[in-house]
Amino acid sequence: MKLYGFPMSPNSRRVQLTLEEIEEPYEYVTVDLTKGEHKQAEYLALNPFGRVPTLVDGGYVLWESHAILQYLAAKYPEKGLDGGNPHEKGEIAKWLFANAAHFGPAAARVFAHTIRLPEEQRMPRVAEEGRAEVTKVLGVLEEALKGKEWLVSARLTLADIAFTPTLAFAPMLGFDLSQYPHLSAWLDRIRDRPSYKKIYG
Ligand SMILES: N[C@@H](CCC(=O)N[C@@H](CS)C(=O)NCC(=O)O)C(=O)O
């Protein structure tokens, strides 16, 4: 397998964490976003949206990080990353969609409009709305994690992995995660895993 990604990209890191959990060898190919490599014809032939990550598994090409997570979990069912029964699978899908549709994009908006974009292009209102959405999701996660080690199952699943890269860069965006004790304890459990240590150092 080959993973096309960019080191600082949370969406790429989500897939890297999953590949490390699965413990299958893979080749990491850096697509340098700062040099615009993701918009060049060679990469667009793999991913027409020109975004990272993209996974290439033999002749199969797959983009969208959460879809890649589900593919990897389905390919290696013995790792149990996609839950053990329909109820768990439904719960995992729920959290994956919540992250893909709400949490990740909201955090990306905060990042863009407070750090990434040149000052004259930043829109405080967009940053504020993103911040409100991120805060909402943090509260929902905190509530969901009360009395639980992992979001869905008795063990780590894709649901836990999916949120990790967004949460890892939340402090840089000014979010104080210590206000959420259950979420913080859960994040510490994830940080203790060899997969996290390998990707985040
Ligand atoms: N929904 C996509 C988002 C991918 C995405 O936006 N990746 C960012 C890096 S974290 C990117 O490639 N940005 C470059 C661009 O949009 O031009 C996924 O989860 O894979």
CATH of the domain at 8: 3.40.30.10
In this structure, the residue with its CA closest to atom 11 of ligand 1 is: 51
> What CATH number should be reported for the domain holding residue 124?
1.20.1050.10
Query: By C-alpha distance, which of 10, 1, 2, 49 is closest to 134?
Result: 10
| Contact indicator for 129, 187 with CB cutoff of 8 Å | no
| Contact indicator for 19, 3 with CB cutoff of 8 Å | yes
Answer yes or no: is 200 within a domain. Answer: no
* Mean pLDDT (the chain, rounded): 97
Answer yes or no: is 175 within a domain. Answer: yes
How far apart (Å, rounded) are the C-alpha atoms in residues 201 and 6?
A: 16
Residue ranges in the chain modelled with pLDDT below 50: none
Domain identity same for 28 and 109: no
Give the pLDDT of residue 193. 98
In this structure, the residue with its CA closest to atom 10 of ligand 1 is: 9
Question: Which residues form the pocket of ligand 1, taking CB atoms under 6 Å from any ligand atom?
Answer: 9-11, 33, 38, 50-53, 64-66
User: 79, 114, 147 — which closes off a domain?
Assistant: 79
Candidate from 8, 11, 115, 166 with most ligand 1 atoms within 8 A of CB, to mutate: 11
Domain that holds residue 186: 86-193
Cα torsion angle, 85, 88, 90, 96, sign? negative
CA of 53 to the centre of ligand 1 (A): 7
Answer yes or no: is 137 within a domain. Answer: yes
